[in-house]
Amino acid sequence: MRALQFFEYGSADVLRVAEIPEPHPGPGEIRIAVRSSGVTPADWKLRSGAFQQLIPLTLPHTLGIDAAGVVDEIGDGVTGVAVGDEVYGMASLERMGGANADFAILTLWGPKPAAWSWDEAGGAAGNTETSVRVLDLLAIGSGDTLLIEGAAGGVGSMAVQLARARGARVIGTASAGNHEFLAGLGATPVTYGPGLAGRLDGPVDAVFDCAGSGSLAELVAIAGGPARVVTIADFTGAEHGVRMSRTGGPGAEPQSRDALTIAAAVPGLTVPLAGVFALEDAAGAHRLSETGHVRGKVVLRSSPPVS
């Protein structure tokens, strides 16, 4: 099968579509024929070598955590899913990849919502799981006011919708050009940057930092203490008493096992797409993600979409 790999650390130019043996699922896993898969900041950071001390890899390495497709093999002990089912999910975080390929092994999955295209589903799983996990950590519910720092990105745009589905009011930070986009998702947009507290129209109950832009000190002050702030992107969190929640690498937290099924049942949930690329054009997808100004998800098509 074809798989997106890198044989050495470096820029997007080191990416190659290679022919490798097909994988097969182990206990508790399924295999899908991939229709679309996602590109995340973690993918290009792995490729660049930024994580090589934290997460050592054996090269060549196949990239990709998010994927959607049709189940074609089922491992021992798996129930509730059948060959032919359409699903979206995540590849093994222990292996830190494997989804940007023609076939992928999933360790976490849920039913693909009928309203989603393959491209939307292919980029949804990681952002969905992360959003549900952090919203649970912050105990976001009806009547709460949640501030999301970096709300226009892949995780942020999903978290806005899932928090709104819980009955929360959401304030989202973004550049002025993304304010209309956030309002369309149900958030109250504000411009990010120093002095944020002065631009808010009232108190907030909790803060979800998706940006990692160095604003934790101000976010803690806004929330009234570090216990009401969770970051997924700022590795200085401990210095501010802030919990960092992630599911890959040392110190990873358990995944929310039912997150994808929960999200699939939310009416009207959308997956904003920043760019759709062929697997062979993955370098362009990585370069887009690396800009840091991506509205929604970047995805790769592994095969022609099917209806």
Q: Which CATH superfamily is domain 130-244 in?
A: NAD(P)-binding Rossmann-like Domain (3.40.50.720)
Outline which parts of the chain fall under CATH 3.40.50.720. Answer: 130-244
Question: What is the per-residue pLDDT for 30?
Answer: 97
pLDDT at 305: 45
| Structural contact between residues 105 and 37, judged by C-beta atoms closer than 8 angstroms | no
How many other CB atoms are found less than 10 A from the CB of residue 153? 26
Q: What is the pTM of this model?
A: 0.89
Range list for CATH 3.90.180.10 in the chain = 2-124+271-301
Q: What's the confidence (pLDDT) of residue 153?
A: 86
Q: What is the pLDDT of residues 150-206, one digit of tens each?
A: 999 889 999 999 999 999 999 999 999 999 999 999 999 999 999 999 999 999 999
- What is the tens place of the pLDDT at every residue in 3-16? 999 999 999 999 99
At residue 34, the pLDDT reads 97
**What was the pLDDT predicted at 306?**
44
User: Taking residues 88-107, what's their average pLDDT?
Assistant: 92
Stretch 297-303: mean pLDDT: 88
The whole-chain average pLDDT of the chain stands at 92
Identify the CATH assignment for 2-124+271-301 out of 1.10.569.10, 3.40.47.10, 1.10.260.40, 3.90.180.10: 3.90.180.10
Cα gap 279→12, rounded to integer Å: 13
pLDDT above 70 as % of the chain: 97
